[in-house]
Chains A and B, each alone.
Chain A
Amino acid sequence: MREQRQTIPVLLILTALAVGVIVLFMTLGAKGRWDFVLPFRGAKVLSMVLVAHAIAVSTVLFQTVSHNRILTPSIMGFDALYVLIQTSLIFAVGSAAVTDFDPRLLFAGEVALMVAFSSLLYRWLFSGNSRSLHLLILVGIVFGVLFRSLSGFMQRIIDPNEFVLLQDRLFANFNSVDSNLLAVSTATILAVSVVAWRFMHAYDVLALGRDPSINLGVNHNRVVTIVLMMVAILVSVSTALVGPVTFFGLLVANLAYQLAGTHKHRVVLPVAVLLAVICLVGGQLILERIFAFDTALSIVIEFVGGIVFLALLIRGAAR
């Protein structure tokens, strides 16, 4: 009962806030013709909403199957793999050749590679007798370190000019999103979300743990594999679109648990997505209008979000 009292206002307020920041972002400080400003900013907003959705959903689902609220998909070496792919590309063929590639092809290649890596990892770990998720995560961390060291090594011996170009590609950036990629990403993320929606009822049960969910008739291995694949696709698409931003998933997921006041994924997932939209669009708004692009988006989000998160934790502990 107490959940319903809290849920509907929270959802309403968050929706209003999300719409509010989007409207502000679209209109504030517009100095040109509207028929130029709106499509230009609209594409940016769409990419941010896509990334927000992908990161929020993937983090919440990943935390549900791993029974851990501190882990994020980035711990599985996703970010590191993205960095490695970019570094090896520039290292092997040079930045001039990389910019000549068809961006859609490059994007498809990156996503395919990341999904292949993750499914290989899951398949290998889930097929044997060791169905331990902790082992999976540990292996992910070790791979992450390996990828990071490999990238670090290549970055050190690369031409300094190339390195500057590379670094530019490695920061999360919503200003240089290709509109062709946007269409592909939207389609992919929509498709994954439809699948994710169909399993909605199973997530609450999965959160109980392996044995109770098998007892309740959930095909645990199958559902967990599907969830991890969805997480892999979502993270890959969003990383390939704008670069690594997965840390902020930790923030929105935990804020969502606090605000939703229920364990039900039907509520937690939308709350997390709305929070992520507010964080990203709001953060970008602050970045563009207040700091005039003088800093990085992740700094804005992590600073403001971190303070809110700490405040919630301290309040929660005091209760």
Chain B
Amino acid sequence: MIEISNVSKSYGDTIVVREVSLQIPRRGVTSIIGPNGAGKSTLLSMISRLAPMTAGTVKVDGLDVTRTPSDVLAKRLSILRQDNRVGSRLTVRDLVEFGRYPYSKGRLTPEDRAQADKAIRFLDLQAYSDRFLDELSGGQRQRAYVAMVLCQDTDYVLFDEPLNNLDMKHAVGMMKLLRQAADTLGKTIVLVLHDINFASCYSDYIVAMRDGAVVRHGPPDVIMTSEAIRDVYDMDVEIQEIQGRRISIYYT
């Protein structure tokens, strides 16, 4: 379980996240939604110790993320952010094998290689495993990065807008894959999403943020109501139930 208590973040006088307290349950997919500038990515960065918090604590399975040694945490929790650019020329396999670094410190054991193979197969990247990252399309590269964090084999996997730059087909593929990782590998997946319909269809739990605070949280059928979405986005949308899923019609 990820326990967030009274976490705040401010840059000078600007408060980006204000006193957020939240518990993210173990296993399953949790989505964080909200308008631009709501503090979603900042919250994710603080949970994953990429950014220091101004106040409050975050505990992952009882470990305080700011006090626990970074390499211990790296075996429990991994994060993938939006823009990933690597200076050195890496092949897909090189990148995925980096996911084993917390365990092997650069000296790969046969087991590490097996894990990397598994992650490559899980993401269906076998055909590209010896290609260089700069020779891949955006979708393939995104999958290679996801393979790296899955290869890290942590219980908690955090993604900041994993659907960025993906077309319909790849976006759906990515969401199915994350769902599968949660269901078959028993992972706890936390995502920041912009498309609330993806959040509705694939998550077990939705956290809605606005102006640095959590305004609503609950299972999709509680969040996916016209009233709740108005609270979060300040926008009137119609929610319809289509084939058992709650879909918002917000395009017009």
Which of A's residues lie within 8 Å of B, judged by CB?
Answer: 1-2, 67-69, 129, 200-202, 204-205, 207-212, 214-219, 263
Contact = CB atoms under 8 A, between A and B. Distances in A.
B70 A209 contact: no
Interface of B: 11, 48-50, 69-75, 78-81, 84-90, 94, 98-99, 101-102, 105-107, 130, 149, 152
A215 B87 contact: no
B73 A217 contact: yes
Contacts of A212: 84, 98
A207 B130 contact: no
Contacts of B107: 201
Contact of A217 (B74, B84, B130): B74
Nearest to A220: B70
B102 A208 contact: no
24 contacts: A1-B130, A129-B11, A201-B106, A205-B98, A205-B101, A205-B106, A207-B86, A207-B87, A207-B88, A208-B86, A209-B85, A209-B87, A211-B50, A214-B50, A215-B48, A215-B74, A215-B80, A215-B149, A216-B99, A216-B101, A216-B102, A217-B70, A218-B71, A263-B88
Given A201-B106, A263-B88, A215 B78 contact: yes
Contacts of B49: 214
Contacts of B73: 217
Give the interface SS of chain A, mostly helix, strand, loop or mixed.
loop
Given A211-B50, A211-B79, A217-B101, A263 B90 contact: yes
Contacts of A2: 130
Contacts of A202: 106
A211 B50 CA distance: 6
A217 B102 contact: yes
Nearest to A210: B50
B115 to A, nearest CB: 14
A200 B106 CA distance: 9
A289 B216 CA distance: 80
A263 B98 contact: no
A216 B145 CA distance: 13
Nearest to B45: A211
A280 B55 CA distance: 54
Given A216-B101, A217-B74, A67 B87 contact: yes
Nearest to A261: B89
Nearest to A200: B106
Contacts of A67: 87
Given A217-B72, A217-B74, 4 more contacts: A215-B78, A215-B80, A216-B99, A217-B102
A202 B70 CA distance: 13
A96 B80 CA distance: 62
A158 B208 CA distance: 70
Contacts of B105: 201
Contacts of A263: 88-90, 94
A216 B74 CA distance: 5
A217 B99 CA distance: 10
Contacts of B48: 214-215
B250 to A, nearest CB: 31
Nearest to B78: A215
Contacts of A211: 50, 79, 81
Contacts of A209: 84-87
B87 A69 contact: yes
Contacts of B11: 129
B106 A204 contact: yes
B70 A218 contact: yes
A236 B94 CA distance: 35
Given A209-B86, A263-B89, A215 B130 contact: no
Nearest to A219: B70
Contact of B71 (A68, A129, A210, A217): A217
Contacts of A208: 86, 98
